[in-house]
Structure formats: structure tokens, C-alpha cells
């Protein structure tokens, strides 16, 4: 017989919703627990990745609830973004209609999984009641000078006529139309996240319960590097060319200088030179290249000599100034000193263009003399040579000595360089939060007054995909009055990147309907911080970095009293099929809905948790689903054969299981928790469960298979939800065994097992082990040299 999952799941979903048992209210007496999973982009249907993410969170949430915590477990939709607009262009519809449709569909599917969300707190970022607070926060940043406008080189898709975020550029091409992305200089809005770089780096040390992997990725992204800015002078004019390096110990090996093609200095120094035309042609060629072409392979480095020379401040050597594509304007000063003997890129370039090399660091134990011997740059540590007064020093020592020398002589300055750039947030797109500023000919850039928020998106808009942002065509939107002088003015038509929306949504969940600000300070003080955050590793840098930044900014505004939003972070692994990531483009997806209608949500949840630990990849297995279904039916049948009283052995197994399951769920080891429950069920089949044993089994399984267990729980005559039942405690006294099996090894190999009283003394245990027949025969008459005893576990006799 198969248990009637369809009817059961539908019924309990309704009862839970009507009973509002998952709706959260602050309660100063109980300990709060805020559990959050990354909210989805409403693309239409939920996929297995969502199912996995949200199932993991749901089990943790229900478990905490049963342990007596006051749990906040909200859900919402990250609803702005390009796909809705693309769909609108394709279907000749409206992004809002498309998005609302998707949200309704996804909400229905999430409910069909039986997730324990407080749906009264649902937020959608595309609603004015939400995005007005994006605008509010933006204006606060604008006031503090953290939001600013500047000309910048950005990714631009010529077909879609819009800027693209870096993540929207796949292998140098537009993710939508596959057209090659070009670089274009445009006036854009930026947020000065760099102002917070030190705090963003330092506070990473506080995040003890984040995966090391994510912390490393954030550190790399911030990219703090200590070095020296060295002032080289142009030979003729004496004009200073600053160069950033982390390897000032190699400065005596510098044989030429390279400027990035975009470097403003280049045009200046070549003016009037015979090579001017050739160089300009080169610069033009490089600037036309896509970033993909420019960085492709990384081997072919092109460049030209400018005809000018620079002077090395440490030895007054004169060296040629080159322009080359391998130097980037965005990093450092856009200029480098090239040390071909000790930098692989410089090495390749020098070989190509027959530039000189000089060894200045000698590796220990090797006698590198001439640069001709080199087959590649030596980038390791060693002793200074050919380095004037610094000869003979260890290069680490020389690093600090040379830096000091430069500070003293004014030829350089100790500097810290960061990789982190300011955050480009403007998009020439309709479906996003309008940037709340107005351009006035007299007053300049003026923020929209707070009382006029939200600046709402106009609804009557045509979506053609051509001619830039559709907002430009809406006269009623563009034409505005200057808030300061009331003169006719122009409204900003760029919208915000959607990462803004998700940078603070976890705060909105604390008071989703609050009207006086982005969130109620009191509510946030109660619920925040997020105790457990769960989501994909793909957000390791962007979303998680932006959210950390927003939190710090809002703290500085006095709205929060903590620095970090997420206490613990779990990054769940991907769902694979046949060893490949499940994805639409591969066409190897499995539709959760189909599984639900065939086996029920509880079976799907059970399989997904049992098949692998949360952080690792999960291989989809149709047979595994059947196994999970079979197990639930096996539990279902127990209720028909309950005994008056279970025997002592089963009671003992139960307490052991309670201990194991409680510890495992606490540590998110759901697969082994389920394995322990399965063993317990096998033990029940070997004996017989009574009411009490069965009740506890149901409670332990309830977070994993909620509808199923709720039904069984009520079948036992309980009136309240199983999720109001207390999580079972185990009796430590019952876990103590009087007899234990001790393994006896001879020279580290298991040779015998002996049953002994658990409180046996070491000497007695040793005596018993040495007296064992098998042990005696394996010792072959030799006397024991050593005897290691691990109480209650093992004896190892060394002969």
C-alpha cells in the first residue's frame, strides 16, 4: 500500500497557512532565530537548485522551531532585472505583468514544497513600496558623497544598446544576443564602496562561521597589496611618471618602462615625434579590441617604443619608455617598471622585442650569472646581486630597505594598492529602480526630495529593444521641475543595478510594511543579525560583499548597531545530472513539479537531503527518489503494528538515535541524520515500536518530511501541530552500556575482539587481551614490547 501523499500534502499546507503557525512575532522572552535563504529571481518555475537551497533552510528552520526558538523564516522575490524586459520585448507585453505572473507561479510551487515561510512578510523588490527605499538609501549615499557620477569605460552591447554588468558578459559576449561586447566611455553613476574597503577587509576576520573559500574570494576581490610608488622621470622634460610595484627589491633589474595605451602621458610625450602616427595607430587598435581579445591567451604581448626615455632613480640609468597592451590603465598607476629577469610577462615581452635583461635576485643554491641562461623569469626569493649598496641582502630584507631609502630620498612612497573598484550601478534599462535625481541647468544634479519618493516607473511604455532605455521616450517622466529653483529640468532615466535591491532585503523582512523608513529600527534590533544564511557560492563576492557594505553604511547612519549582517553562511552545492550541472541550456533539467506529483514533496525533500551533504554537489538519481519514497512507506506501515511496550534494546537504540540526529541536524549533516533514522526504523522492524517510540520517530523525521509526519502525528490522536511538539531529549543513562567490544590488535592489525565489562581497568583488559587464544597464536611466542590501551575501544600489542 502506498501512503496518500497528494491528499495529505495539500491538506496540511492549507491547515498550516490558516493556522499561521509559521508567522513570526517578536517575543522578548524567547530566543530569536533568523534563518534566511537567498531569495530567487522570479524566472517562472522553480528548479532543483531552488528546491535544494530551500529544503536545507526549511529543515533547519523547523528544527529550531521545535527546539523552542522564535524563528523568522521569510521569503520574497528579487523581481527587477533584464530577463523581464527581454521577455516583454519578445512577447510584446509589459515587464511588470510578466514578473507578477512568474512570482505567482513560483509562490505556488514553493508552497507545494511545504516550506515553512511567513508569507505575510513576502516582499517583491519591483513594487514601489520596496524600491522607494532603494531611492531613499541612494539619496543618503548621495548626500554623503558616496554616490557620484563620472565618465567611465563600461561594457556596452551594440545590439541591445545598453551597458551590461560584468556578470552579464559571458566570454566577451552579450549573454542575450551573443554579440561581442565593446568598451565605451559613458557618464555613469557609481557608489564609493572603496571608502569602506579597509572595514570590509578587516571584518572578514570576524566571520568565523563562513566558509574559508568565500572569505578567500572576498579577500582576493578586495585585493589589498603593499608596495611602493616609484617616481621615474622623463629624461628631457623631467616630468614624473609614477609606477606601482610590489617588487621594489628588483628595481636594479628594471630595463624599460611600460605605459598602458590609455595612459594620458603617452599622447603628451609623443607629440611631434616621428613615431607619433605609428603609436597612435597602435593605441587605436588596442582600444578597439574587446577585453576578451586583449586578454586572450595572455601570451601575445604587443607594444611599441615611444622614442622617449626615463631615468631610474636608484642608479640614474636611462631606459626606454614603451607602450604595450599588457599594462592595464585600471590597476596601479597604469605604468610599470619592467623587470624581465624576474617577471614572466616582462620576460616574454623583452624576448619578443629584444630588450635587455639583468638578474638581480639569485636563488639559493644556484649560480645564475647571465640573463641569457634564463628560460623564464625567476620570481622566487633569493639574494640581491647587481643591486649596488643592497648587494648580498636577502630580497625580503631588501624590500623594506629599498622602500625606506625611497621614502627618505623622495624618489618613491610606500603605498597600498587595492583591486576593488567603485561600484557602477547605472543601467540604461527600464525594469529597475529609477535613480532619484534631476538635472537642472542652473542647480546641477539635484536629489529628489525625500517627501517626493518614490519616483515611480511610468507604466505606459513601449518596449522595442532599440533606441536605448525606454524611459528616454516617456516625456512625462523625463520632463521635471527642479526641486530647488522650480525651473524646467530633466529627470535621470538610468535605473539602478538590481544588486542594490538585494543588498538590504534581509532588513526589510524584519518589518516589511514599515512606512517611515526602509525598516523599523526596533524590529531590526530584535531580529537581526541573520543567524543562518544559505545560498549558492556564485554570490560569494558580489551580493555578499554589497550586503556587507550596505550594512556598514546603514550602521554609520545610526540605523543599525552591528557591522556584519550574516552570522553563519552555508553555500550549498549544485545539482548535477549525469555528472553535469543541471541547466536549461544543457537541457538536462528535472522538473520538481513532476517529481512532486509522482512521489510527493516529502519524498523529494528526503531524497535531496539524503543523497549528499549540503555543501557538496548532488547527483540526481531517479532510483534514489524511489528509495526515499520506499522508506516513507516503510515508516507509514509501522503504525499498523504498534506493540504495548517496546523492549529495552529498542529504547536504547531510540536514545542513541535522538542523540545522533539532534547533533547531526544542528551541524547541517542531514544525510547522516537520515541514515541514523533509517537504522532506527530497521531496528523497529526487527522488534516492535510502541506509541512512545513511534512518536519520537515521527518528531525526528518531521523537519525532513513535514506533511507526512504531521499526518502520522495527528493519527496518534495529537491535536496540536507536530511542530509545536518539543524536540525529544535523550537519556544519557540509557546510553551507557555495561558490556563493550574491544578490538585487539597485534602490530596494528586486528586479530581478535573481546567482550568486556565497560568499566574494566586497563591492567585487567591487558591481561585478557594477552590471554586471548588468537592473540597468543599471532604473537608466535614473542613477548610484548609495548601495549597501547584505548579504554573501551582498543588494545594494540606490539611485539
Partner RNA sequence: GGGCAAGUGGUGGAAUGGCAUACACGAAGGACUUAAAAUCCUUUGGCCGUAAGGUCGUGAGGGUUCAACUCCCUCCUUGCCCACCA
Q: Which of 341, 611, 693, 775 binds RNA (CB under 7 A)?
A: 611
CA angle 416, 250, 246 (to 5 degrees): 15
Give the separation between CA 465 and CA 346, rounded to whole angstroms.
45
Q: Which of 78, 109, 234, 343 binds RNA (CB under 7 A)?
A: 343
> What CA–CA distances, in Å, run from 708 to 20, 56, 117, 142, 713?
19, 17, 18, 53, 9
Q: Which of 10, 466, 753, 761 binds RNA (CB under 7 A)?
A: 753
Q: Is 331 in the site for RNA (CB under 7 A)?
A: yes
Q: Is 616 in the site for RNA (CB under 7 A)?
A: yes
Binding mask 574-593 for RNA (x = CB under 7 A): -------x------------
Who contacts 376 (Cβ-Cβ below 8 Å, separation ≥6)? 344, 347
Q: Is 485 in the site for RNA (CB under 7 A)?
A: no
Which of these ranges, 32-40, 193-201, 528-536, 786-794, lies near RNA under the rule CB under 7 A?
786-794
Give the separation between CA 474 and CA 519, rounded to whole angstroms.
32
Give the separation between CA 362 and CA 330, rounded to whole angstroms.
32
597468543: which residue's cell? 776
Who contacts 622 (Cβ-Cβ below 8 Å, separation ≥6)? none
Cell numbers standing for residue 574:
549544485
SS3 content of the chain, % helix, strand, coil (to 5): 40, 20, 40
Shortest spacing between CB 485 and RNA, in angstroms: 43
Give the separation between CA 511 and CA 527, rounded to whole angstroms.
10
Residues in 639-678 at the binding interface with RNA, rule: CB under 7 A: 669, 671-672, 674-675, 678
Q: Is 345 in the site for RNA (CB under 7 A)?
A: yes
Q: Which of 21, 217, 478, 525 binds RNA (CB under 7 A)?
A: 217
Shortest spacing between CB 328 and RNA, in angstroms: 4
Q: How far is CA 549 from the centre of its chain?
A: 14
Which of these ranges, 6-14, 60-68, 533-541, 583-591, lies near RNA under the rule CB under 7 A?
533-541
Q: Which is nearer to RNA, 244 or 378 (CB)?
A: 244
Give the separation between CA 511 and CA 120, rounded to whole angstroms.
10
Shortest spacing between CB 369 and RNA, in angstroms: 24
Residues in 685-704 at the binding interface with RNA, rule: CB under 7 A: 685-686
Who contacts 153 (Cβ-Cβ below 8 Å, separation ≥6)? 183, 184, 185
Give the separation between CA 338 and CA 245, rounded to whole angstroms.
10
Which of these ranges, 183-191, 449-457, 647-655, 787-795, lies near RNA under the rule CB under 7 A?
787-795
Residues in 276-315 at the binding interface with RNA, rule: CB under 7 A: 294-295, 298-302
Shortest spacing between CB 454 and RNA, in angstroms: 33
Q: Is 619 in the site for RNA (CB under 7 A)?
A: yes
The conformation of residue 459, written as its DSSP 8-state character, comes to S
Q: Is 600 in the site for RNA (CB under 7 A)?
A: no
Which of these ranges, 28-36, 94-102, 322-330, 391-399, lies near RNA under the rule CB under 7 A?
322-330
Cell numbers standing for residue 156:
556596452
Q: Which of 18, 205, 212, 451 binds RNA (CB under 7 A)?
A: 212
Which of these ranges, 28-36, 127-135, 461-469, 610-618, lies near RNA under the rule CB under 7 A?
610-618
Cell numbers standing for residue 182:
565593446
**CB count, 10 Å around CB of 263?**
19
Binding mask 439-478 for RNA (x = CB under 7 A): ----------------------------------------
The conformation of residue 120, written as its DSSP 8-state character, comes to G
Q: Which of 332, 412, 592, 600 binds RNA (CB under 7 A)?
A: 332
Q: Which of 558, 732, 748, 781 binds RNA (CB under 7 A)?
A: 748
Q: Is 413 in the site for RNA (CB under 7 A)?
A: no
Cell numbers standing for residue 344:
614572466
Q: Which of 741, 767, 771, 782 binds RNA (CB under 7 A)?
A: 741
Q: How far is CA 471 from the centre of its chain?
A: 33
Amino acid at each position: 500500500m502506498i501512503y496518500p501523499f497528494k491528499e495529505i500534502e495539500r491538506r496540511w499546507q492549507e491547515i498550516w497557512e490558516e493556522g499561521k503557525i509559521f508567522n513570526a512575532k517578536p517575543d522578548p522572552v524567547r530566543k530569536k532565530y533568523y534563518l534566511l535563504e537567498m531569495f530567487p529571481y522570479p524566472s517562472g518555475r522553480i528548479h532543483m537548485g531552488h528546491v535544494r537551497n530551500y529544503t536545507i533552510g526549511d529543515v533547519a528552520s523547523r528544527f529550531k522551531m521545535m527546539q523552542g526558538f522564535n524563528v523568522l523564516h521569510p521569503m520574497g522575490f528579487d523581481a527587477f532585472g533584464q530577463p523581464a524586459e527581454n521577455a516583454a520585448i519578445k512577447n510584446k507585453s509589459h515587464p511588470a505583468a510578466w514578473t507578477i505572473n512568474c512570482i505567482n507561479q513560483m509562490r505556488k510551487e514553493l508552497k507545494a514544497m511545504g516550506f515553512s515561510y511567513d508569507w505575510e512578510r513576502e516582499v517583491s523588490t519591483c513594487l514601489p513600496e520596496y524600491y522607494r527605499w532603494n531611492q531613499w538609501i541612494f539619496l543618503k549615499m548621495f548626500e554623503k558623497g558616496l554616490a557620484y557620477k563620472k565618465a567611465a569605460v563600461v561594457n556596452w552591447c551594440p545590439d541591445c544598446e545598453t551597458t551590461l554588468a560584468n556578470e552579464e558578459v559571458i566570454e566577451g559576449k552579450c549573454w542575450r544576443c551573443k554579440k561581442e561586447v565593446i568598451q565605451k566611455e559613458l557618464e555613469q553613476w557609481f557608489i564609493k564602496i572603496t571608502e569602506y574597503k579597509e572595514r570590509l577587509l578587516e571584518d572578514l576576520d570576524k566571520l568565523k562561521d563562513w566558509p574559508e573559500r568565500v572569505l578567500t574570494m572576498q579577500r582576493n576581490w578586495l585585493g589589498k597589496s603593499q608596495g611602493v610608488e616609484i617616481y621615474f622621470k622623463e629624461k628631457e622634460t623631467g616630468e614624473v611618471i609614477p609606477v606601482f610595484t610590489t617588487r621594489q627589491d628588483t628595481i636594479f633589474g628594471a630595463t624599460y618602462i611600460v605605459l598602458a595605451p590609455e595612459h594620458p602621458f603617452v599622447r603628451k610625450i609623443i607629440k611631434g615625434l616621428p613615431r607619433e602616427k605609428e603609436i597612435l595607430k597602435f593605441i587605436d587598435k588596442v582600444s578597439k579590441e574587446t577585453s576578451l581579445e586583449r586578454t586572450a591567451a595572455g601570451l601575445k604581448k604587443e607594444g611599441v617604443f615611444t622614442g622617449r626615455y626615463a631615468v631610474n632613480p636608484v642608479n640614474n640609468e636611462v631606459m626606454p619608455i614603451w607602450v604595450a597592451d599588457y599594462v592595464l590603465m585600471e590597476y596601479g598607476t597604469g605604468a610599470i617598471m619592467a623587470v624581465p629577469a624576474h617577471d614572466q610577462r616582462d620576460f616574454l615581452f623583452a624576448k619578443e622585442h629584444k630588450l635587455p635583461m639583468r638578474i638581480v635576485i639569485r636563488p639559493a643554491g644556484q649560480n645564475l650569472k647571465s640573463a641569457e641562461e634564463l628560460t623564464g623569469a625567476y620570481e622566487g626569493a633569493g639574494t640581491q646581486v647587481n643591486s649596488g649598496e643592497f648587494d648580498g641582502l636577502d630580497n625580503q630584507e631588501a624590500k623594506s630597505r629599498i622602500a625606506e631609502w625611497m621614502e627618505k630620498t623622495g624618489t618613491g612612497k610606500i603605498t597600498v594598492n587595492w583591486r576593488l573598484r567603485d561600484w557602477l550601478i547605472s543601467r540604461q534599462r527600464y525594469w529597475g529602480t529609477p535613480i532619484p535625481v534631476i538635472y537642472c541647468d542652473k542647480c546641477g544634479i539635484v536629489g529628489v526630495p525625500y517627501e517626493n519618493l518614490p519616483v515611480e516607473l511610468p507604466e505606459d511604455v513601449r518596449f522595442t529593444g532599440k533606441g536605448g532605455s525606454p524611459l528616454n521616450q516617456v516625456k512625462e517622466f523625463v520632463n521635471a521641475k527642479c526641486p530647488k529653483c522650480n525651473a524646467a529640468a530633466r529627470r535621470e532615466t538610468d535605473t539602478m543595478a538590481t544588486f542594490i535591491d538585494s543588498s538590504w532585503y534581509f532588513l526589510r523582512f524584519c518589518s516589511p510594511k514599515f512606512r517611515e523608513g526602509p525598516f523599523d529600527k526596533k524590529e531590526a534590533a530584535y531580529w537581526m543579525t541573520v543567524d543562518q544564511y544559505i545560498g549558492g557560492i556564485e554570490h560569494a563576492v558580489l551580493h555578499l560583499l554589497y550586503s556587507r557594505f550596505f550594512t556598514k553604511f546603514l550602521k554609520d547612519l545610526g540605523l543599525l548597531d552591528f557591522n556584519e549582517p550574516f552570522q553563519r553562511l552555508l553555500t550549498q552545492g549544485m545539482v548535477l545530472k549525469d555528472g553535469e550541472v543541471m541547466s536549461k541550456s544543457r537541457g538536462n533539467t528535472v522538473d520538481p513539479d513532476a517529481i512532486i506529483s509522482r512521489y510527493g514533496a516529502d519524498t523529494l525533500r528526503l531524497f535531496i537531503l539524503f543523497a549528499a551533504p549540503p555543501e557538496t554537489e548532488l547527483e540526481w538519481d531517479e532510483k534514489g527518489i524511489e528509495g526515499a519514497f520506499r522508506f516513507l512507506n516503510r515508516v507509514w506501515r509501522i503504525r499498523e503494528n504498534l506493540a504495548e511496550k517496546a523492549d529495552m534494546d529498542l529504547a536504547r537504540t531510540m536514545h542513541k538515535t535522538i542523540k545522533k540526529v539532534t547533533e547531526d541536524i544542528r551541524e547541517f549533516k542531514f544525510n547522516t541524520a537520515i541514515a541514523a533514522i533509517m537504522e532506527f526504523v530497521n531496528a523497529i522492524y526487527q522488534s516492535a515500536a510502541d506509541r512512545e517510540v513511534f512518536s519520537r520517530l515521527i518528531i525526528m523525521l518531521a523537519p525532513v518530511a513535514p506533511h507526512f509526519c504531521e499526518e502520522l502525528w495527528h493519527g496518534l490522536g495529537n491535536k496540536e501541530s507536530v511542530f509545536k511538539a518539543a524536540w525529544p531529549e535523550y537519556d544519557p543513562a540509557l546510553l551507557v552500556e555495561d558490556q563493550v567490544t574491544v578490538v585487539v590488535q597485534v602490530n596494528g592489525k586486528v586479530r581478535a575482539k573481546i567482550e568486556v565489562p565497560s568499566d574494566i581497568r586497563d591492567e585487567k583488559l591487558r591481561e585478557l587481551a594477552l590471554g586471548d587464544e588468537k592473540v597468543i597464536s599471532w604473537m608466535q611466542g614473542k613477548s610484548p614490547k609495548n601495549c597501547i590501551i584505548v579504554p573501551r575501544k582498543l588494545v594494540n600489542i606490539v611485539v
